[in-house]
Amino acid sequence: MTKKVWGGRFKENINETVDAFNSSISFDSRLYAQDIEGSMAHCRMLAKQGIISDNDATRIVDALAEIKREIDRGEFRITDDHEDIHTLVEKALTEKVGMIGEKVHTARSRNDQVALDVRMYVRDAIGRASGMIKELQKVLVGIAENNIELIMTGYTHLQPAQPVLLAHHLLAYYEMLKRDRQRFEDGIKRVNILPLGSAALAGTTFNLDREMTAKELGFDAVSANSMDAVSDRDFVIEYIFASSVLMMHLSRLSEDMILWSTREFGYLFLPDAFCTGSSIMPQKKNPDVLELIRGKTGRIYGNLMSLLTVMKGLPLTYNKDMQEDKEALFDTVDTIEQCLTVIAMLLSRVSFNGPAMKKATQDGYLMATDLADYLVNKGMTFRSAHEVVGKIVLYAIDQKKHLEDLSLEEYKGFSVQITKDVFKWLDPSSAIKRRNLTGGTGSDAVRNALNNAKKEIEA
């Protein structure tokens, strides 16, 4: 069993089962790059402050860089012999440069070391998430622009409601994703705080230049309270929360596409390369990718609740419970990046069934609201118009007719204010043209929204 860095106080070796239970190397090894980069900056700062010699610092930094290259190339075997990535790197360092390697831990605890590593990891993850969300937004804008003329049924309560442009529907998801990017990027302000220098909980007796370390590692500021710095995981929780909201939006988009791809809707065709079949039913084409995204949303919610629960009862400062943050964080990062990648690829290859979408707008009495607006323009109050149109719809249902199939005489039976110009109002395309206010589904409004979206993406 590898000698523990904390073993001096103990009379007997740790129980092997406890050692395995306590170990985090199996998952925190992915922090090796951040751990090494943080150690190199810490070492350079120690030399600048005269705490260790320049020669020792150079040898340590060079050896750490070599260790990183070896791990990058897969030449360094990471085993369960070490408790965590921090002790593994330190052991590898001492094997290369001898006892001077132990100086790297001067004025530092694993408590502020791991807080540093995780902050750097989350910072990188935010950058990737933001970029991937932006790529998905580009795909949505491209699809909307290529299908700008397609009219479809808009729904409330999953019941036919009013005609809208497909582009308008897709740009609703663009707006959701824009807020998702903003949430991730705003979190950088709270992530990018250097905890190193807090040591175990009380700071250190050494005269550190924390601002130098912060600058070297790209942090905007240093932590104001050492106890908070080593026990804070708000930034991890916030990242997983932002991921949860993102996954909720991806799940809703997936659900729309699942519904639209059914025979009953028939609005879109999913590419074969992103679907699977049935082991018993030869005719099946299943939207498994979209269903998995929908299902994995619950997994991210679980990670958020898990970490909130871990943290809720912890006294200050560091407690071993906090080791549980990493698997939840790493799983969240992996999951959202997989989902963002695959849904962007899938979306870029979907095609839409324009005739089926147009036909659907002719059913469901989608023009009822426009008919009520027509009566308002004739001088009727909206409540009165609502009641009259409700009776017209009921009559049309009984007669098994669409609204545009009713005769003028039939309309006049409900209101003498209805004249032959009513039929111009009953075309779904005219309903689109009447909604050109900012944020509406009118063609001009949607084109403006598309132009704004492209400018935002370019910016």
- Confidence (pTM): 0.93
Q: Is residue 454 part of a domain?
A: no
Does one domain contain both 259 and 180?
A: yes
List the domain range (segments joined by +) for residue 287: 111-200+224-358
Does one domain contain both 76 and 145?
A: no
DSSP-assigned beta bridge partners for residue 364: none
456 contact partners, CB below 8 Å, separation of at least 6? 178
Which of 24, 105, 130, 157 is labelled catalytic? 157
Does one domain contain both 151 and 254?
A: yes
Does one domain contain both 101 and 231?
A: no
Q: 375 exposed, middle or buried (CB, 10 Å; 0-12, 13-18, 19+)?
A: buried
Give the residue from 106, 141, 163 where a domain finishes: 106
Question: Is 157 a catalytic site residue?
Answer: yes
Q: Is residue 216 part of a domain?
A: no
Q: Is residue 207 part of a domain?
A: no
Distance CA 185, CA 225 (A): 24
Using CA atoms of 173, 175, 180, 183 in order, give the dihedral in degrees to the nearest 10.
-170
Question: What's the pLDDT tens digit per position in 221-265?
Answer: 999 999 999 999 999 999 999 999 999 999 999 999 999 999 999
Quote the pLDDT of residue 79: 74
Count of H-run helices and E-run strands, the chain:
19, 6
Q: 269 exposed, middle or buried (CB, 10 Å; 0-12, 13-18, 19+)?
A: middle
Question: Is 402 a catalytic site residue?
Answer: no
Does one domain contain both 324 and 353?
A: yes
Does one domain contain both 285 and 188?
A: yes
DSSP 51-76: SS-HHHHHHHHHHHHHHHHHHHTT-S
206 contact partners, CB below 8 Å, separation of at least 6? 46, 49, 51, 106, 107
Q: Is residue 217 part of a domain?
A: no
CATH code for position 280: 1.20.200.10
Quote the pLDDT of residue 97: 97
Distance CA 249, CA 245 (A): 6
Does one domain contain both 195 and 251?
A: yes
Query: What is the number of domains present in the chain?
Result: 3
Does one domain contain both 319 and 350?
A: yes
Q: Is residue 448 part of a domain?
A: no
Does one domain contain both 99 and 120?
A: no
Question: What's the pLDDT tens digit per position in 39-52?
Answer: 999 999 999 999 99
CATH code for position 411: 1.10.40.30
Does one domain contain both 57 and 135?
A: no
* Spatial contact of 151 and 358, defined as CB atoms under 8 Å apart: yes
Quote the pLDDT of residue 362: 86
The two structure tokens encoding residue 438 = 């900012």
Quote the pLDDT of residue 364: 85
Which of 26, 53, 278, 351 is labelled catalytic? 278
CATH code for position 47: 1.10.275.10
Q: Is residue 404 part of a domain?
A: yes
Does one domain contain both 139 and 51?
A: no
Q: Is residue 262 part of a domain?
A: yes
Look at strands 268-269 and 351-352 and give their pairing: antiparallel
Give the residue from 81, 106, 131 where a domain finishes: 106
The two structure tokens encoding residue 247 = 């996954």
Quote the pLDDT of residue 2: 63
Does one domain contain both 91 and 195?
A: no
Distance CA 58, CA 46 (A): 11
* DSSP label at residue 314: P
Q: Is residue 210 part of a domain?
A: no
* Spatial contact of 150 and 165, defined as CB atoms under 8 Å apart: yes
Low-confidence ranges of the chain (pLDDT < 70): 1-11, 14-16, 18-20, 22-23
Give the residue from 74, 106, 138 where a domain finishes: 106
Q: Is 298 helix (H, G, I), strand (E, B) or coil?
A: helix
